[in-house]
Amino acid sequence: MVHHHHHYHCKEKRPKFCINDHVDVLAEILKRLDGRSLCLAACVCRLWSALARTDSVWEHLCFRHLSPPPPSSVRPVVSALGGHRRLYMVCIRPVLGRLGPSRSAELPWRVRSREELQLSLSLFCVDYYERLGSGSSGGGRFGDGSATAPSSLMFLCKPVNV
């Protein structure tokens, strides 16, 4: 205790370490979190919130297990269709949840595979297309007067009967 006290007085000139001063390190750390933790991190402070919302962090999360990593052409496509965060929330997380340990591994898709990536992207594209439609001014999605939210991916939100 006395030693500490003495040490504290000697420390005046040395600045305290604050992670927020090292944004690149912070970004590297955030990249390795899972989706839920990333959302929690976004609630900490404005800097963390801004970082946690950058698409590159979510891109890392989406394709973390994909080996080899996806081709560079994927990034602009995903960005155009709504970004990696939306891709994760709407397609990848539910897909992984369904194809996860509760299913017997008849086909080797525990680790994310190209096929899973492709399927997620296709579903993501359908989702984007439906949102395009609901945003139109023609009186609702398909002109039937009811402005329903895109529901093509609703089946992914339903509980699984295991």
Q: How many chain residues touch another protein (CB under 8 A)?
A: 42
Out of 28, 121, 147, 149, point to the residue binding another protein (CB under 8 A): 121
Residue with the two structure tokens 């398909």: 142
DSSP letter at 13 equals: T
Report if residue 64 touches another protein, rule: CB under 8 A. Answer: no
By C-beta, is 10 or 73 nearer to another protein? Answer: 73
Q: Does 147 bind another protein (CB under 8 A)?
A: no
Phi, psi torsion values for 59, nearest 5 degrees? -60, -40
Using CB under 8 A as the binding rule, whether residue 96 contacts another protein is answered as no
Q: Which two tokens stand for residue 123?
A: 């579903």
Q: How far is CA 39 from the centre of its chain?
A: 9
Helix (H, G, I), strand (E, B) or coil at 6: helix
Does residue 15 belong to the site contacting another protein (CB under 8 A)?
A: no
Q: Which of 152, 99, 149 is nearest to 125 (CA)?
A: 152
Q: Residues in the site for another protein, rule: CB under 8 A? A: 71, 73-74, 76-77, 80-81, 94-95, 98-99, 103, 107, 109, 115-116, 118-119, 121-126, 128-129, 132-133, 136, 138, 142-144, 151-152, 154-156, 158-161
